[in-house]
Amino acid sequence: MPSQEGETSAAAEPGEASAHPWQPTPVPVDWLWNTLEVGGPAERVEAFRAAAAGPGVVPWVLDLAALEEEFLLPMAGPQDGVRAISLSGAKVLARRLRDAAAANHQAALARIGSDRSCPFDLHRLLPVPPGILALGPEEEESKRWLRTHYWGVTRPLRHVEVLPSTLDGRRKRMGQLRVGFWSADWSPWQAVARLRRAWPDLSFDLRPHYPGSQQQVDEERPTPAPERKGRKRRAGAGAHRGG
């Protein structure tokens, strides 16, 4: 996505550059590190591994007109004490940000058919229904539905990685898949419960690592947490990548 600061400087009329350019107000997100161990007969674990691998993308439907408007309004009428750029400059910048979001969205969608880089893709295992996708990622109704009825979290998992197996090598007929990931605000308990019902011959052991706990200190954390700030409502691409 183009740099907002750079675009503001280019689009503003002479004399209108501000020492305090407008910035969107972030929505805080608390990211929680989790590990998940999937175990059972080796052939069933391998079947699950194949089923779970995907692009880590959720193909939300974007309302591009609304997205452009939400970029435009705060720039055209900023908060008190924040100097506005010209209306024409704000319109140019809002359209460029919209176009960048749309391009990023399409690039993410293009990976869905072939990308298997995310080893635990919730949307591949438990697809979000079209009616919910049509609402968009930042609508309260879609987030509430995901949290209370489906995954147990409101956003795709982030930085999903395969972790080293802890399985005893002498158990030749048994298999194990261990993954680690960051989840937004809570752990995907609802998703795991659904997977237990769908794969009854496998065990699913989900372990959240709460900040400051001894468990978090003792165990390796493969990737840093995502930034705590979230996006402003609708201010980003609709296809979210979790891998």
Q: What is the 3-state secondary structure (H, E, C) of 63-131?
A: CHHHHHHHHHHHHHCCCCCCCCCCHHHHHHHHHHHHHHHHHHHHHHHHCCCCCCCECCCHHHHCCCCHH
Confidence tier at 81 by pLDDT (50, 70, 90): low
Paired tokens of 58: 């959720």
Confidence tier at 4 by pLDDT (50, 70, 90): very low
HSE (side-chain half, CA atoms, 13 Å) at 57 = 22
**Domain for residue 232, yes or no?**
yes
For 30, other C-beta atoms within 10 Å of its C-beta total 12
Query: What is the reported pLDDT for 123?
Result: 96
Region 187-203: mean pLDDT is 98
**Domain for residue 95, yes or no?**
no
HSE (side-chain half, CA atoms, 13 Å) at 187 = 14
Length of the chain: 243
**Domain for residue 70, yes or no?**
no
Range of the domain at 37: 28-60+115-241
Query: What is the reported pLDDT for 221?
Result: 56
Confidence tier at 112 by pLDDT (50, 70, 90): confident
The percent of residues above 90 in pLDDT, for the chain, comes to 46
CA distances from residue 16 to 2, 4, 22, 26, 189 in whole angstroms, order as listed: 20, 15, 13, 25, 50
Distance CA(137)–CA(112), nearest Å, equals: 17
Distance CA(220)–CA(36), nearest Å, equals: 14
Region 196-213: mean pLDDT is 93
In this structure, is the dihedral angle defined by the CA atoms of residues 153, 156, 159 and 161, taken in order, positive or negative? Answer: positive
**Domain for residue 93, yes or no?**
no
**Number of domains observed in the structure of the chain:** 1
**Domain for residue 109, yes or no?**
no
CB 1 within 8 A of CB 97: yes
**Domain for residue 83, yes or no?**
no
CA 169 remoteness from chain centre = 35
Check pLDDT > 90 for residue 144: yes
